[in-house]
A and B are shown apart, each in its own frame.
Chain A
Amino acid sequence: MTKRISAALLSALMMLALLSGCGAGNGTPAPTATPAQTEGGAEAGDTAAKAGRAASNELNVGIAQDFDSLDPDYMTAAGTKEILFNMFEGLVKPNAEGEIVPAVASEVSKSEDGLQYVFTLREGVKFHNGKAVTPEDVVWSIERRRGGEDTAAQLAALAVISEVKAEGNTVTVSLSEPSNEFLAYLMNAYILPAGYTEQETAPVGTGPYRFVSRTVQDSLVLERFEDYWGTPGKLDRVTFRILENNEGLILGLQSGALDLVAHLTSDQIAQLDSGEFETAVGSMNLVQALYLNNAEKPFDDLRVRQAFCYAVDKQAVIDLAFDGYGIPLGTSMFPSFSKYYDGSLTDYYSHDPEKAKELLAEAGYPDGLDVTITVPSNYTPHVNTATVLVELLKEAGVRATVEPVDWGSWLENVYGNRQYQCTVTGLSSDNMTARKLLERFGTGIGNNFTNYSNAEYDEILAQAIAAGDDAEQTELYRSLERNLTENAANVYIQDMADLVAVRKGLEGLTFYPIYVLDISALSWT
């Protein structure tokens, strides 16, 4: 008898679940509307979960991927840099306004010829293990980055350093040639204890938060570093929970397990109760585009590239795949780098499928053509964009197909071996320089996976990098942007929006012009 009851109970539960599942699945258009019947129960529990963490001054953040390394010199994933920003600092570091400010160094002076930088170390900077930072630590850290035995830890841009010397309380860095962007690149030379070999399992830095524990593919726990030299963090303890599944992240927010999740889609935001969560909208600072292999048919022909630019309605992509969140772009630069950004290039190619058809016919494709868009399947926004592009390109007679490949294959075939026609991805600059975004289109540059090659571009690029004067350099970078647009190097789409779900009561979230999540300013009200 009891079996029958339990079976009945089980079926009743399943039915209930199905019904409520359907209700949620229908979707509410705006993040404001929520199913009323769930509110009472959910609120009580979540407030309790929140109150618990707020009372103990803790925070749980959900992230979508594991850390590729806890040794900052080895980390390459944007998602890792985003978080470890809170643990590690260089002699200088970025702030939210996009400026480079002194960190472990308190003062920086540059020689007249731009070949020597003298850094005065800040008094009383300590490592997370309690030891004071010495000039020797600084020299060791920069040497490791510039070209020690550890090839994987090397930062190619720091090859410009010819010598690093400690003297009293200062460190002198000499360059083989002047470089305006040297300090920006130096931000990524993190100051670590000299000779310390346990970074991977017990990382030690100088940032406002320090390492407590890590469970591979599960979580990373940080706590406030009490001896931090600058403004200390407000939260006592922050746990990053890794949930690579989108549903998992949303369930985590709804269940009260998580308080903050960044980089969500508008669909996911719509599933959340607006009574519990606020949505902060920032920018990802990525140049999302249909990147074209300029060396391969059909994209070795300028007319075909331009035809694609005319065929793609950027706003349509943003509306259809991103619910209208996103800023259209026309070149390899985004608005938060306001100094370099040229907004007039956005509408250089107005949406015009007829013109696209004409250009294709001129180029020898009167009946249209077939192309394959290779996309990394783990990046849903890029896959969705490609799907919309297929529809948009149809208008111009282009028969495009989407080929999703896993990240490893994408890296090897598309990015490494450049065996592809076109791909959707986003490119960023992790050190706030225009150079990082533009240098990659120079002929023969290692990461120029689009094979863009333009003599004029190469010439201006060389001038820009060597330019001593900031205003002159800025002007040169701007003309590079124009060159990319005029030659239709790629089909530029947008700077993607960064939608962040934040539990009510949590404040202090700031967006940086680079991809970082600064937890030191966050606090519960």
Chain B
Amino acid sequence: MRYVLTRLGMLLATMLLVSFLTFAAFEAVSGDPARNLLGTEATEEQVMALREELGLDRPFLLRYAEWLAGFFSGNLGVSYSYRQPVGKLIGPKLEISLCLSLMSFVMIAVISIPLGIFSYHRTGGFADWPRTVFNQLCMAVPPFFTGILVSWIFGILMKVFTPGDFPGFRQDFGESVRHLFFGAVCLGIPRIAMTVRMLRATVIEEMNKAYVRTAISRGHDRRGVLTSHVLKNSMVPVVTFLGQTLAELVGAGIVVEQVLGIPGLGRFLVLSISHRDYPVVQTIVVILAFWVVLAGTLADLINQSIDPRLRLGGNRG
């Protein structure tokens, strides 16, 4: 119970802090939403009138307080650029981004855990160095490049999906999911490589520990020790890492969304920042903060069930 309360408090504090910082950051950087909306032909009077209409002429703290009050009463505000309620605009983007991130996450977990263990088995073998090189390569490719590669191979050569033609869930669910699948691949590749490397390193470290030697000297076979003891002990850092991955995935889609033409949250965030569309940016940022805390909490809970020592709130190691 106490744990839940602490977590909730943390969540609230994070969201408050992040939203305030975003608000303050916008105050600090130049750029005026009114001028942005009215473009280059507007007169000074028009800019002033619109600033007043949007309430931008009022003090910063007052605006923040109002936004906060609105947020807690379920009113996310109206987008400056689109003159539509923020909730209505963000809903469909959130659906897409969540689907993309979860697909990517499942892919990362399902592929990297077995692959990490498999790659431990092969340590020092003949095929070790090309695999290490390949692993490094996968980690190093920037997402826009993976995006172009994947679109090129699967979209243009193999015609499995059509980059730039995302139909939307309501129009064609299957095609949309297929489209997102390739986005998930682009997001997944470097993270799979990282997770594999990490798991492998942890397993190697764990296998060199005294208890493993003892177990093997007592006649257990290597594989048995690996599956029944080492794996469980190696999981804690990996789960933590996966938690972080899950947290960053929602925001990480920006580049991939742009290259593959997926209308997700990341793209919307970038655009809204450049338009100085505060209500939209604020809401997206709060959603991302919520997501990060949520992912962290999930990782924590799983780790506690793996390693009961963590439940007491004591330090590890």
Contacts and interface: CB of A to CB of B under 8 A. Distances in A.
Contact of A378 (B39, B82, B155, B274): B274
Contacts of A20: 152-153
Nearest to A258: B164
A255 B148 contact: no
B40 A76 contact: yes
B275 A151 contact: no
Contacts of A134: none
A337 to B, nearest CB: 18
A82 B159 CA distance: 32
B40 A447 contact: yes
Contacts of B258: 243-245, 247-248
Interface in A391-446: 406-409, 411-413, 415-416, 446
A7 B115 contact: yes
A508 to B, nearest CB: 23
Contacts of A254: 152, 155-156
Interface in B65-95: 81-84, 89, 92-93
Interface in B133-158: 134, 137-138, 144-145, 147-149, 151-153, 155-157
Contacts of B118: 3-4
Given A17-B152, A251-B151, A413-B30, A151 B163 contact: no
Contacts of A446: 43-44
A446 B45 CA distance: 10
Given A3-B114, A446-B44, A257 B261 contact: yes
Contacts of B30: 408-409, 412-413
A252 interface: yes
A38 B44 CA distance: 55
Interface in B18-60: 29-33, 35-47, 49-50, 53
Contacts of A62: 164
A21 B83 CA distance: 42
A466 interface: no
Interface residues of B, number: 64
Interface residues of A, number: 62
A248 B49 contact: no
A507 interface: no
A216 interface: yes
Contacts of A406: 31, 274
Interface in A195-242: 200-201, 215-218, 241
Given A76-B38, A151-B46, A254-B156, A17 B149 contact: yes
A7 B131 CA distance: 10
Given A3-B118, A217-B271, A248-B164, A415 B82 contact: no
Interface stretch (A41-49, A170-178, A309-317, A344-352): A41-49
A384 interface: no
Q: Report, nearest first, the 10 A-B pairs whose CB atoms are least far apart.
A: A252-B164, A76-B39, A408-B31, A257-B165, A245-B258, A218-B263, A257-B164, A151-B49, A251-B163, A17-B149
